[in-house]
């Protein structure tokens, strides 16, 4: 089955065919570093990263670029509000961004270019737009002349004429038209600035992505991703800048994720709504570094992948708790299959019919997982395939009195398959299991289970219950099955 991607540019699903065989060039809009990034931002980062992970699983080499906007109005405002320099604000939150990304288990981009490290290239790009007649200078500012670009609006559907006539644009007498946007901004007193043919200034927001994407990926590349709130004006303006200059298609596939929403009253907004976009301006954000104090990276990631990336996703009070429980089901299943497959007890050699069905469930899970991901990266379907396999394994182990030698090999393969499929989604099951259940802990738990069993045989229920209750209080569950007593770690 070929990989299909919904292209925001054409408004339809298309078969994915990269420009270069087995090499994908992808750009994702990264953070503006004026604050800690929140779970709404994380949805964009994780959606893009999972696309990258699946492409690599499919055998592609992926050059993945995610920029850092480290000069911008919000950074300057935060600096003024806190009495530090814009450079200090940008450095603090850039460091925090990479730290939080690592703690969330997000793969590092191939390159993470910063706007301030590409001023020379930005000035040259703007100069060429001016020379081509697509931009003009006015008192130290440089604006893109939208009237000169015929293709404006093809991504967003926002027509140039409607933009000019509407009330969304800033009134500025220096512009030829209200809809013209900044390419280069004249520095005000106390603001950061760099030399340019038009005087000291700094880049506009949109030009940064056009310059950095073309530098690292070329004038035309495969995938451009970001939140759907960036379609207009940011991505529309990127297209105008880049295609206006080169005359070539900018990005071939545009991928946009839906917004994370929260319900109820928003502090400071003075209103209620059933679903409200999560944003810093509304005061309803949940910083990732705060959430990681309570929830595992796996739980946060599973929640963000529980809806299709193009759909809105509601964050309820119990959303992350439910995700934590779902992660625990996977972890317990992997733990159980690994433990049962390693048992050295003498078991039947002949494979049973239920074990044959268990073996078939592996191929079914992989097929359903891949079919879902090939259909525009349908992560809910992929997670569904994983949980179907988990449910099948749990049913098998609860009903099977004896597991054959071949059955144990099948269980081992299931454990490996779950680790692999979860890994494609960035769910780090293998390391979490290894980190919690090393050989020393496993040996100690076997001893505790033996002591408890000895107490039960002696009808010393007080000791048996004390062992069970003490382990429960420590976050360890004991379950008495037909195969014997097994233990599980209850993880957030």
Cβ neighbours for 38, distance < 8 A, ≥ 6 positions apart: 278, 280, 285, 286, 287, 288
pLDDT at 271 over 50: no
Q: What is the mean pLDDT of residues 383-403?
A: 91
How far apart (Å, rounded) are the C-alpha atoms in residues 105 and 249?
33
Give pLDDT, residue 450. 85
Which residues are paired to 20 by β-bridges?
Answer: 23
Per CATH, the number for 320-436 is: 1.20.120.640
How far apart (Å, rounded) are the C-alpha atoms in residues 175 and 314?
40
pLDDT band at 266 (very low <50, low <70, confident <90, very high): very low
Residues of the chain with CATH 3.40.50.620: 4-258
Question: Is residue 22 classed exposed, middle or buried when 0-12, 13-18 and 19+ CB atoms within 10 A define those classes?
Answer: exposed
> Which of 9, 22, 44, 48 lies closest to 253 in space, CA to CA?
9
The whole-chain average pLDDT of the chain stands at 89
Give pLDDT, residue 471. 83
* The most confident of 97-111, 265-279, 406-420, by mean pLDDT: 97-111
Architecture per CATH, domain 4-258, reads as 3-Layer(aba) Sandwich (3.40)
Lay out the sheet containing 181-186: strands in order across. 135-138, 141-144, 181-186, 201-203
Q: Flag the least confident range among 246-260, 264-278, 442-456.
A: 264-278
Handedness of CA 147, 9, 229, 238 (dihedral sign): negative
pLDDT band at 445 (very low <50, low <70, confident <90, very high): confident
More confident residue, 172 or 356: 356
Q: Which helix (H) or strand (E) holds 15?
A: strand 12-15
Tokens encoding 335? 């733990």
pLDDT at 96 over 50: yes
Helix (H, G, I), strand (E, B) or coil at 431: helix
How far apart (Å, rounded) are the C-alpha atoms in residues 221 and 233?
20
Residues of the chain with CATH 1.20.120.640: 320-436
More confident residue, 440 or 140: 140
Q: What is the mean pLDDT of residues 71-92?
A: 96
Return phi, psi of residue 93, to 5°. -85, -20
> Which of 198, 51, 217, 187 lies closest to 139 in space, CA to CA?
198
Give pLDDT, residue 283. 60
Cβ neighbours for 89, distance < 8 A, ≥ 6 positions apart: 33, 34, 75, 78, 79, 82
State the Cα torsion 304-307-311-313 to the nearest 10°: -50
pLDDT at 482 over 70: no
Query: Left, alpha or beta for 264 (phi > 0: left; psi -120 to 50: alpha)?
Result: left
Name the DSSP class of 169.
S
Q: What is the mean pLDDT of residues 195-221?
A: 97
Give pLDDT, residue 286. 86
How far apart (Å, rounded) are the C-alpha atoms in residues 117 and 486?
55
Predicted model pTM: 0.85
Give pLDDT, residue 268. 37
More confident residue, 432 or 3: 3
pLDDT band at 101 (very low <50, low <70, confident <90, very high): very high
Strands 23-28 and 221-227: parallel
Contact in structure between 334 and 423 (CB atoms under 8 Å): no
Give pLDDT, residue 492. 45
Q: Which helix (H) or strand (E) holds 411?
A: helix 405-424
């Amino acid at each position: 089955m070929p990989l299909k991607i919904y292209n925001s540019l054409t408004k339809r699903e298309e078969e994915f065919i990269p420009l270069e065989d087995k090499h994908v060039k992808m750009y994702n809009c990264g953070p503006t570093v004026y604050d800690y990034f929140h779970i709404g931002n994380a949805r964009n980062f994780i959606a893009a990263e999972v696309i990258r992970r699946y492409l690599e699983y499919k055998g592609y080499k992926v050059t993945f670029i995610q920029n850092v906007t480290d000069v911008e109005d919000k950074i300057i405002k935060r600096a003024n509000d806190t009495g530090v320099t814009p450079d200090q604000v940008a450095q603090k939150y850039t460091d925090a961004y990479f730290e939080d990304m690592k703690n969330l288990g997000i793969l590092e981009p191939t390159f993470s270019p910063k706007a301030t490290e590409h001023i020379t290239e930005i000035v040259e790009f703007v100069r060429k737009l001016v020379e081509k007649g697509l931009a003009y200078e006015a008192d130290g500012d440089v604006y893109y002349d939208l009237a000169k670009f015929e293709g404006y609006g093809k991504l967003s559907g926002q027509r140039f004429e409607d933009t000019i006539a509407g009330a969304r644009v800033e009134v500025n007498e220096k512009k030829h038209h209200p809809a013209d946007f900044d390419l280069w901004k004249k520095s005000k007193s106390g603001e950061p600035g760099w030399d340019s043919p038009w005087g000291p200034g700094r880049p506009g927001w949109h030009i940064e992505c056009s310059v950095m994407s073309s530098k690292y990926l070329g004038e035309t590349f495969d995938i451009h991703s970001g939140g759907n709130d960036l379609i207009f004006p940011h991505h529309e303006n990127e297209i105008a800048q880049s295609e206006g200059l080169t005359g070539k298609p900018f990005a071939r596939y545009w991928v946009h994720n839906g917004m994370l929403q929260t319900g109820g009253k928003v502090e400071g907004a003075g209103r209620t709504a059933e679903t409200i976009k999560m944003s810093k301006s509304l005061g309803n954000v949940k910083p990732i570094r705060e959430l990681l104090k309570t929830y595992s990276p796996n739980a946060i990631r599973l929640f963000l992948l529980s809806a299709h990336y193009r759909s809105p996703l509601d964050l309820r009070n119990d959303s992350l708790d439910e995700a934590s429980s779902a992660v625990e089901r996977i972890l317990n299943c992997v733990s159980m299959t690994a433990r049962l497959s390693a048992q050295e007890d003498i078991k039947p050699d002949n494979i049973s019919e239920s074990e044959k069905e268990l073996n078939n469930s592996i191929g079914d899970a992989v097929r359903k997982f891949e079919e879902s991901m090939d259909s525009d990266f349908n992560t809910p379907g992929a997670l569904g395939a994983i949980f179907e396999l988990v449910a099948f394994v749990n049913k098998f182990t609860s009903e099977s009195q004896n597991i054959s030698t071949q059955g144990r090999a099948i269980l081992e393969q299931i454990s490996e398959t779950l680790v692999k499929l979860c890994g494609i989604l960035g769910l780090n099951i293998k390391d979490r299991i290894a980190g919690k259940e090393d050989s020393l802990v496993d040996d100690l738990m076997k001893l505790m289970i033996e002591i408890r069993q000895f107490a039960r045989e002696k009808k010393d229920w007080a000791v048996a219950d004390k062992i069970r209750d003490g382990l429960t209080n420590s976050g360890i569950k004991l379950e008495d099955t037909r195969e014997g007593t097994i233990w599980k770690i209850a993880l957030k």
